[in-house]
Amino acid sequence: MLLGLDISTTGAKAILIDTAGDVVRTSTHAYPLSTPKPLWSEQDPEDWWQAAQQSIQEVIKRSNINAKNISGIGLTGQMHGLVPLNQHEEVLRPAILWNDQRTSSACDILVEKVGLSKLIEITGNPAMTGFTAPKLIWVKENEPEIYRKIKHILLPKDYIRLKLSGVQATDCADASGTSFFDITSRKWSPTILKSLEIDPDWLPAVFEGTQITSTISPQGAQATGLAPGTPIVGGGGDQAAQAVGVGAVETGIIAITLGTSGVIFAPTGHPQIDPQGRYHAMCHSLSPEKDQGWHLMGVMLSAAGSLRWFRDTFAADDDYTNLIEPIREIPPGSEGLIFLPYLTGERSPYPDPFARGSFIGLTIRHNRAHLTRSVLEGVAFGLRDILSLLRETGLKNISQIRISGGGARSRIWRQILSDVLNVEIVTVNTTEGACYGAALLAGVGTGTWDSTQQACRAVVKTISTTNPNRINVPIYDSFYQDYHALYPKLKDSFQSLTTKSS
């Protein structure tokens, strides 16, 4: 048996799988999110730990197994969060999360001290409000009494590792989202730490996602019901573990997560960094000696979130099926109606917090079905923007896209995506996401499989395939050119409208 544990933004999820990859039991326990000020997002790490204990205890109890039969544990979770600890490994303040936006001035300080080109060259990413380093700078600037007490810094899932094992450790994939990490050497960057005057001893040891980092301590065993000595592997941040969970561990197999946000994840055999920082370049959860050790990732902020907004605003009494079904009667391109899905700003390929959503081309002929279809098409065009950018870096051989997330359940939306991207799109049998990927990483680390590729080939199977409609592909090519031209023309207006309404 293998255990995966996911410390997400909403709850702690435990999954137990057998060595054939079949899910035996899952359990999730939720915890609250705190927003003490506008743009702030925090959680109490103790809430994570309590929920993790409950989820682990429940999967063991309801599976009716001996905990000694669990051969390995993999961890995953929300990335970028700052968990500051004192010399006694006690939490000094609530964790500042990935979606916290208080750190814009801290990003400026980071760029000033390191230099933008050097920062991108080392970390694969520009300074971003969600990443860990700006959060630490913010604490230094605004909570100096707390900053003086810091002796250790952990990421969310790694705080749970500490509680389980008494060991401070992280993995290369999660470390890549901190702005402290050199993704090429796969080590903490001395250059950045020196520039920010950060003691290297504050940071945990770094492992590959399949390496054993620690084992369950007697205290961890007593709290959870796990057996003392059970190995814990490095695991990975949620996006890397999600990619493992759907089998995106080989060149040419790309993962799209169509959730509230939209993520394109492409494994690579070497770091491919965009000098302009228009996408994320990070380490994968895979060993570079055996597998694809790095990945490229583009993120659009409002993917299925755009459809949810549209439904909640214009069709609150309808379910998604009733909303989407009528669009079958609307031709590709929605008769000249284009939707820009920048409802919460944008990240890739336009890192612009001022970008706004828009319907362009409205006429009296357009009805609700036209608007609905244009929303689905606009999200697909946004994902094509990201995929086109990744292809510019040399990502040429895309054999298959594996799609997951709530939006992937719509057959119509999958067809639109296949037509717009002009590539085969498949769904797979594994639906437990990052938590499942963490369990597979544990299996590789403890010898169930020789590599992550072998694990995914053994357990991840295609269950549906959507191929491009050759008639629709050129139609969408034409409308995409119009879509792609709109953001540069509207960028200044977006910023002006934001300034006037703030």
pLDDT at 435: 96
pLDDT digits (tens, 9 = 90+) for 436-484: 999 999 999 999 999 999 999 999 999 999 999 999 999 999 999 999 9
pLDDT digits (tens, 9 = 90+) for 199-230: 999 999 999 999 999 999 999 999 999 999 99
Amino acid found at 155: L
Gap between the Cα atoms of 172 and 195, Å rounded: 21
pLDDT at 291: 66
* Mean pLDDT computed over 58-69: 95
pLDDT at 227: 98
DSSP letter at 88 equals T
For residue 307 the two structure tokens come to 């459809």
CA dihedral (204, 453, 282, 189) positive or negative: positive
Contacts of 170 (CB under 8 A, 6+ apart): 154, 155, 158, 204, 205, 206, 207, 234
For residue 79 the two structure tokens come to 């990335």
DSSP letter at 394 equals T
Cβ-contact 233, 445 below 8 angstroms: yes
pLDDT digits (tens, 9 = 90+) for 173-191: 999 999 999 999 999 999 9
pLDDT digits (tens, 9 = 90+) for 231-274: 999 999 999 999 999 999 988 899 999 988 899 999 998 898 99
pLDDT at 54: 98
Identify the residue with better confidence: 444 or 301.
Answer: 444
For residue 101, name the pLDDT band (cuts at 50, 70, 90).
Answer: confident
Quickly list DSSP for 295-359: EEEEEES-SHHHHHHHHHHH-TTS-HHHHHGGGGGSPTTTTT-EEE--BTBB-SS--BTT---EE
Gap between the Cα atoms of 115 and 426, Å rounded: 41
pLDDT at 309: 93
Catalytic residue positions, numbered? 238
Radius of gyration of the chain (CA): 22
Q: How do strand 253-258 and strand 400-404 relate by DSSP bridges? A: parallel
pLDDT at 366: 96
CA dihedral (160, 207, 268, 424) positive or negative: negative
For residue 289, name the pLDDT band (cuts at 50, 70, 90).
Answer: confident
pLDDT digits (tens, 9 = 90+) for 383-404: 999 999 998 887 877 888 999 9
Gap between the Cα atoms of 421 and 473, Å rounded: 8
Q: Report the mean per-residue pLDDT for the chain.
A: 94
- Stated pTM of the model: 0.90
List of domains in the chain: 2-237 (3.30.420.40), 300-427+464-496 (3.30.420.40)
